A and B are shown apart, each in its own frame.
Chain A
Amino acid sequence: MNTDIIIKNLSLLTPELIVTGTLCFVLLGHAFDRKNSQLYVLLSFAGMLTALFTLTSYIGVKSSVFSGMLNVDPFATYFKIVIVFATLVILVMSRFSDEVNNETETVGEYYFLILSMCLGMMFMVGASNLIMMYLSLEMTGLTAYVASGFTRKAKDSSEASLKYLLYGAFSSGVMLYGISLIYGLTGTLNIAGINHVLLQGSANGWALSIASIFIIVGFGYKISAVPFHYWTPDVYEGAPVTITAFLSVASKAAGFAMMMRAFKVMFIDSSAVSVLAGTWTFIHGVQIQNVLIILSVLTMTLGNLVALWQDNMKRLLAYSSIAQAGYMLLGLAVLSNDGFAAVMIYFVVYLFMNLGAFYVVMLISNKINSEHIDKYKGLGRKSPFLSVALAVFLISLTGLPPTAGFIGKWMIFLSLINAKMIALAIIGVLNSVISLYYYVRVIRNMFLRDEQEAGERMTFPYAQQILLLSLLIPTLYFGLFFNQLIEFAQFSVAMVGVK
């Protein structure tokens, strides 16, 4: 490989290079000026904004770099935009978070960790080789373990961190075993190459099923699908709110993107596409569509049922995010471009509503130092703007019109109905009805229950309200004007290595 090719390949990875440069600067800045968190935020924000602008110029580029290790295609670019945008929101959120700012000595490391997580996720969505998938998964994971234990003095934070580490290391070990079996069966680690060998049908079907199930364990852990979800509530409750919000949106998006690419490129029989519904089938021997369906039904049902009796807002949102992953898995289990596009639309919507909900929880916890649901009583009077915003986010998470959450769910159910999987669509709708109960419980506490002692009015600086507005407006906007989003998602389904 000569220099020209390397430079050409690197130029396709400009956004990643910008993020890498930014995180190096943040780490250097930390060496010179330890406590200047303003500096780190400005530096990282500027870097991420540049990365976002560069990303927009890669829309439509479809290419493979570094001998098939990474793909730069519309699919990856779409998810990179989601991840970088989430990072931008989290950076500003962290600036406002008392929890983070109280760690004055190490606040620079915090921003460094956020940026390296973002970098790992950007590699995850483009990875097209099992080596690259494993490495980027671990890069995101290792930084996330440290970040979730960032508030070192807090007992529950270090506990969350250890649990995350043990579950993460275990499931990536299982996934790696699956990878090694796939390698043995096919003799290659490139996902397109694996597909090519599998289509010839020489591989042992029994070993292949075991290997694909092992790989699902790794993905399932990353997207917190039941039964690999045990870490989620504990980590989400113990970690700082900003990290929780980041994990629940960006890490889940990256995990989904990697899973979608792996399944579509590696395990789909491209010769057997149903013309009528546009659905695909798995290669003979890897019949894991039923596994996906069972996973998604279990994930949303258990997530919703357990959320019913949660009293901690962070834990409630953790179970709600498990349930949301269940809905998205439905879109994946459809195995069609429609279903994939629906999942991608859902992620944009989910980005705004879930980050918004966590942001309100963080602002309230800054004031009253509690995330208990009973402490939300009478909040509607103390801070009307925040309460209305939280209500909108929760209604959107339920999936009621006219919010964006409705569009997200509607597209997923539509793709299910198009593929004649009506029973699954009905289970999804029933689950949304269950979820209404616990979301409304929070709203009822805020507006209809009065606290015994009349609390003081809470006021928030304008800067904090602007961030809240910039999450609130898209949540409502995409509920009404969604055509462009849908077109963009349908355009971005295209991947390298798939006809």
Chain B
Amino acid sequence: MIPLNYYLLLSAFMFCCGVLGVVVRRNAIVVFMSIELMLNAVNLTLVAYSAFLGDVTGQMLVFFVMVVAAAEAAVGLAIIISLFRNKQTVNVDELNILKW
């Protein structure tokens, strides 16, 4: 059986990739995908812990996280489209009507 630490390291790595993507990438859609990657890293942690603790609450939370991520993607893409209609860009650097 693969030890717990491997799962945790993988999910920590995924989480860091997600954070890096949010910080480095400038396209709103890619930033959004990076956030989804962060959420999936969290899901992996939860599932791993849940399996090793023999407790189902963690897996229950994973379902909720997946549902919320789907809702967030729907709302997020809708907002990105409405922004694109106004400004013809989804580059976060060009969102400068309001000072960052």
| A173 surroundings in chain B (CB, below 8 A) | 18, 35, 38-39, 42
Interface size on B, residues (CB 8 A): 44
A187 within 8 A of B: yes
Complex alpha-carbon distance, A72 and B84, angstroms: 44
8 Å CB contacts to B: which residues of A132-156?
134-135, 138, 142, 145-146, 149, 152-156
Query: Which of these, A145, A159, A179, contacts B75 with CB under 8 Å?
Result: A145
Complex alpha-carbon distance, A142 and B73, angstroms: 10
Interface size on A, residues (CB 8 A): 41
Contact of A161 with B100 in the complex, beta carbons under 8 Å:
no
A96 within 8 A of B: no
Q: Name which of A229-237, A262-270, A274-282, A464-472 contacts chain B.
A: A229-237
8 Å CB contacts to A: which residues of B23-65?
28, 31-32, 35, 38-39, 41-42, 45-46, 48-50, 53, 55, 57-58, 60-61, 64-65
B9 to chain A, nearest CB (A): 13
User: 12 new A-B pairs (CB below 8 Å) besides A183-B46, A184-B48?
Assistant: A131-B57, A153-B86, A156-B97, A156-B98, A162-B83, A165-B75, A166-B35, A169-B35, A177-B41, A187-B55, A189-B61, A234-B99
| A153 surroundings in chain B (CB, below 8 A) | 86
| A174 surroundings in chain B (CB, below 8 A) | 19, 38
Contact of A170 with B75 in the complex, beta carbons under 8 Å:
no
B95 within 8 A of A: yes
8 Å CB contacts to B: which residues of A162-185?
162-163, 165-166, 169-170, 173-174, 176-177, 179-181, 183-184
Complex alpha-carbon distance, A149 and B98, angstroms: 14
B72 within 8 A of A: yes
Complex alpha-carbon distance, A155 and B98, angstroms: 10
8 Å CB contacts to A: which residues of B4-34?
8, 15, 18-19, 22, 28, 31-32
Query: Which of these, A169, A184, A233, contacts B76 with CB under 8 Å?
Result: A169
A158 within 8 A of B: yes
